[in-house]
Every structure is written in structure tokens, then in C-alpha cells.
Structure 1
Amino acid sequence: MLRLTALCALTLLSACKPPASDDYVSRTQITDERRAPATPVASPDTQGAAWVRSEQSGRLLYGKPGEMPLFSLACEGEELVYRRYVAADEDAKAVLALIGNGHVERFFIDAHEEGDAWLWRGSVRADDPRLEVLTGPRSIEATIPGAGSMILNASRQPAEFITRCAGTMPALPDPEASPE
């Protein structure tokens, strides 16, 4: 008798929800319209591009002479700020992949509104060991999904800039030292 009662209860409970069907979407309301991402950007030609220190802005710019920069590094307090100067989708988030000098590193990079445009911008502590990818003597491939892949030509300037930026940071306390 107990089994029969339990079976009847389960049958009644299963009848409370309709089964899955192809017209399920027609029974719900979808409120958010999904936007497609912008068309991916072609990789820029970086032949002849170079790193140049901008005395006006205190940034290290990468690009062809006389043209808009393609990439930049800036020292803002304890942070090294990196920018990719190519249009980004509003509020987009991505990962900047840097490959070169014996390293493969990934850094978060987000779209930020700068003036009338959305550009890629990210930051990391200037003493982050992953920045060694930028400090070697060889070229680096920098890729952001949808923003193309670009070659950062070899130069010692990024290493000097990053070292100088990290040198302005206060030293981290030694975990072994005891407070006096």
C-alpha cells in the first residue's frame, strides 16, 4: 500500500511541469537582445615600426614614424599600463597574449572609453615577473582576439622603461624580517 501511495505521489508531481519541447522558446520571453561583435581587425604591417619615448606624455610608444601609435606602455604609480590603439567593442573584455623572448604570457585587457572611441587598455604591477616577455632582445607577437596580431619589433627600450617604472615603486617588505 505504501508503494502504491508513493507511486501515485510521484506521478502527480511529474505532471506539474510540462515536458521539454521544440516550442519552449515561444513560451518564454527573451528580453536582452544579443549584439554581434564587430568585424575582426586585420593585423597591422609593422615593418619599420619602432619604440619611441614620448617626452610629452611620459609613455613609450610603438608605431611607424608620423603615424598613429599601435601600442604604448605608460607608468602610472605602481602600475604599468599597456594600450592597443585599435577600436574595441563597448565594454569588451579580452586577453592580450604576448609571445617572445622565451615566454608566453597572458594579460587581461579591457575596452575603455577614451574620447569618442573605445580602445584596449590593461595594467599590471610594474614589477610583475611576467613582464619579462617584453624585456628581452627579440621581437614579440602581441595578439588580442578581434584586434589582430601584431609584431613588436626588437628593442631594448621596453626593458629600460619597465625597469625604470618598477624602480619607482616602494620596495616590498621582506617576509622573513620581523618587525622591530
Structure 2
Amino acid sequence: MHRAVGLALLPLALSACDRPAPLPQGSVQRVELQGTGQRAAMAEPSPDTSRAGWTVSEDGQAIRFGNMGEPPFLTLACNVEAAPPEFVIIRHARAWPGQSALFPVLGNGMSSRFLVDAELSDGEWHWEGRLPADDPKLDVFSGTRDITATLPGRGMLEMGGGRITGEFLEWCRAGGRPEAVQGEASEESEDEG
């Protein structure tokens, strides 16, 4: 009989194990939750790129994508002094010190993801990634098809196809030297002879 009573009380004893032990008096602290609500999302809408295009910088070392007369959305630059030449991708969008992000770019039959960091230049915090110009991930810029580039929380850029990004990449990979044109070289030797 004692065994039957013990088995009958076993479920009651086990159910008591699920309850937390009572807290000692004075150890509970009340916290007001009014100002601790979820922060508003800080995502920005994608910029309207329907009128945007590429322009060459004054020094010829960069191309900029944006609306005419407005700050650019994206800059592709080349540091020809570096060995090997360095390709710089700048996404002009709000950034804070210490931030990093992956910047996916899709186009020309491939997709690449670039690590970009918050950088300060000319009083502007923007997103910047630097790679050797011969990095195969940069081939995403080499064709003539449309390109999309999405920075998380800062929207997607839609860039119409064209030759300028591919030509700029080739120029950067060549160290800023234009490639010799075969027809010009043979005409010069004929003129000398």
C-alpha cells in the first residue's frame, strides 16, 4: 500500500519541479518599458535611377553613376599608382564608423559580393571596397548588360547596360595605359618607310 501511495504522489512531486523557486523579498526590480520599444527601421528606399547615367571624373581616374547635377549613387575608381592597380567601389549612402557590409552586384551573367566598409572622405561617410584590379569578381562590371547593386538597408541601384564600366575596368587593369591599336601601329611603320 505504501508503494501505491508513493506512486500516486509521484506526478504531484514531478509537477512541482517545473515551477521556478520563489524569489527572495526585495530582489525584484520594476522597469518601465515605455522608452524601450522597438526602434524604427532605418532602411532607405531604392533611389530612382530612371534618369541616371555614367560620367567620367575630372581627372579621368573614376566613373560616377547618378542623376545629372546631383551627388552620385556609385563611383568606380582606379588607383593606378598601386601595384597591382587597385579598383575602388564606392556606394554613396549613409554609413557610420566601424560598419561593414556585403555589397552584392549582379550583372553580365554573374554575381559578386564585395566587402565594403564605412569610410570618411571629403566629410562624407560612405561605403567603400578595394580590390586588386585583376580580381575575377570585378568581371561583373566587364560586359554590356544591365547591372543591379544592392546595399542592405540602403536600397538597390539599377544601372542600364553599356560599355563604360567594362572599358573602365580594362583601363584600370592595364594600369591606366590605353591599349595599343593594331591599325595605328602598322600605319606608323608604313609612313616611316
TM-score (norm 1): 0.70
5+ residue gaps, structure 2: 1-20, 28-38, 177-193
Q: Does the alignment pair 1:114 with 2:121?
A: yes
1:114 is aligned with what amino acid? S
CA deviation map 1:117-152 (0-9, x unaligned): 321111111111111111111111101111111112
5+ residue gaps, structure 1: 1-20, 27-35, 170-180
Q: Quote how far apart the aligned CAs of 1:115 are.
A: 3.6
Distance, in Å, in 2 between the alignment partners of 1:62 and 1:127 is: 22
2:93 counterpart SS class: strand
Q: Which residue of 2 aligns with 1:164?
A: 171
Distance, in Å, in 2 between the alignment partners of 1:63 and 1:106 is: 21
Q: Which residue of 2 aligns with 1:74?
A: 77
Q: Specify whether residues 55 and 43 from structure 1 end up closer, same or farther in structure 2 by C-alpha distance, changes over 3 A only.
A: same
Q: Which residue of 2 aligns with 1:43?
A: 46
1:87 counterpart SS class: coil
1:100 is aligned with what amino acid? G
Q: Quote how far apart the aligned CAs of 1:38 are.
A: 7.0
Q: Identity of aligned pairs, percent?
A: 36
Q: Specify whether residues 85 and 38 from structure 1 end up closer, same or farther in structure 2 by C-alpha distance, changes over 3 A only.
A: farther
Q: Quote how far apart the aligned CAs of 1:114 are.
A: 2.1
TM-score (norm 2): 0.65
Determine which structure has greater relative contact order: mean sequence separation of CA pairs < 8 Å that are 6+ residues apart, divided by chain length: 1
Q: Quote how far apart the aligned CAs of 1:48 are.
A: 1.6
Distance, in Å, in 1 between the alignment partners of 2:115 and 2:75 is: 15
Q: Specify whether residues 160 and 117 from structure 1 end up closer, same or farther in structure 2 by C-alpha distance, changes over 3 A only.
A: same
Distance, in Å, in 2 between the alignment partners of 1:73 and 1:167 is: 16
1:43 counterpart SS class: coil
Q: Does the alignment pair 1:86 with 2:93?
A: yes
Q: Which residue of 1 aligns with 2:110?
A: 103
